[in-house]
Structure 1
Amino acid sequence: MQPVESSSVDAVGFDPARNELTIRFVDGGTYVYGMVPIAIFEALLDADSIGRFVNDRIKPRYPFRSA
C-alpha cells in the first residue's frame, strides 16, 4: 500500500498477479477491486483527483469485496 494525496482515499495498492486493486479510504474502509488492468492502476496514480477517478472509473466497473 502506498499513501496518496486525496481527501477521500488514504492509500492504494496493486497486486499484478491477481489484477487486484486495494483502496483504503480515509473513513477507514478498505476494499479490494478485482479484474483491474495495471493501466487503470497507473492512471489512478496519475489522476488529478484520485477520489473522482475512483468514483468514475473504478467503483462502477469492477467487482469488489471488503478487505
Structure 2
Amino acid sequence: MSAQDFHPALFLIRLDCRKGTRHWFFRWMLMRAYRFNQSSMIERVAFDDDAHTLSISFRQTGKYFYYDVPATIFDELCKAVSVGTYFNEQIKGRFACRRDPERRRFGPKDE
C-alpha cells in the first residue's frame, strides 16, 4: 500500500442528538480514508485521528461508526489481505458501535 492509497476527506458527522429535541451537534473532521474495490463486505473506511473514530461503509448494511479505536487498527485494516476477516477478528464486538444516524432506510416507517 502506498501513500497514494489514502485520501484525506472532509466529513460532516452528527456526533450527538438529544432525544426528543431537534438540537444536533455537528463537527467537521479531517479523516484518512480508504476505498476497497476488491472486498465484497466493506466498501470504504475513514478514520478520525483526533476522535479515534472509525467509520466503515458496508456494501450491504450501510455505514457504522466505531469509537475509541486505536490508529493502528485502521492502518492494519487498510493493509489486510482479507478486509472482512480482519474486521470480524479485530473490530466486530470489540469497540462501541453505532449505525450512522443519517442512513436512510427504505420501506414503511416504524410507528
TM-score range, shorter chain: over 0.9
> Larger Cα Rg: Structure 1 or Structure 2?
2
Note if 1:15 corresponds to 2:26. no
Q: Which residue of 2 aligns with 1:63?
A: 96
What TM-score results when the alignment is normalised by the length of structure 2? 0.57
CA distance, structure 2, for counterparts of residue 40 and residue 55 of structure 1: 12
Deviation at 1:2, TM superposition (A): 2.7
Per-residue CA deviation, residues 1-20 of structure 1 (Å, 9 max, x unaligned), is 43113110000000011000
- In the other structure, the counterpart of 1:44 is 77
Aligned length: 67
Q: In structure 2, what is the Cα distance between the partners aligned to 1:65 and 1:6?
A: 22
Structure 2 Cα separation of the partners of residues 66 and 60 of structure 1: 14
Q: For residues 35 and 6 of structure 1, what CA distance do their matches in structure 2 show?
A: 24
Q: Which has the higher contact order (CA 8 A, sep 6+)?
A: 1
Structure 2: distance between partners of 1:2 and 1:48 = 14
Gaps of 5+ in 2: 1-32, 101-111
Give SS of 2:39's match. coil
Equivalent of residue 3 in structure 1, options 29, 35, 41: 35
Identical residues among aligned pairs (%)? 36
Letter in 1 for 2:35: P
Name segments (4+ residues, structure 1) moved above 3 Å.
Answer: none
Q: How far apart, in 1, do the equivalents of 2:80 and 2:34 lie?
A: 15
Residue 28 (structure 1) shift: 4.1
Q: What's the CA shift string for 1:37-67, capped at 9, x where partnerless?
A: 0011000001110011111100121010011
Higher strand content, 1 or 2: 2
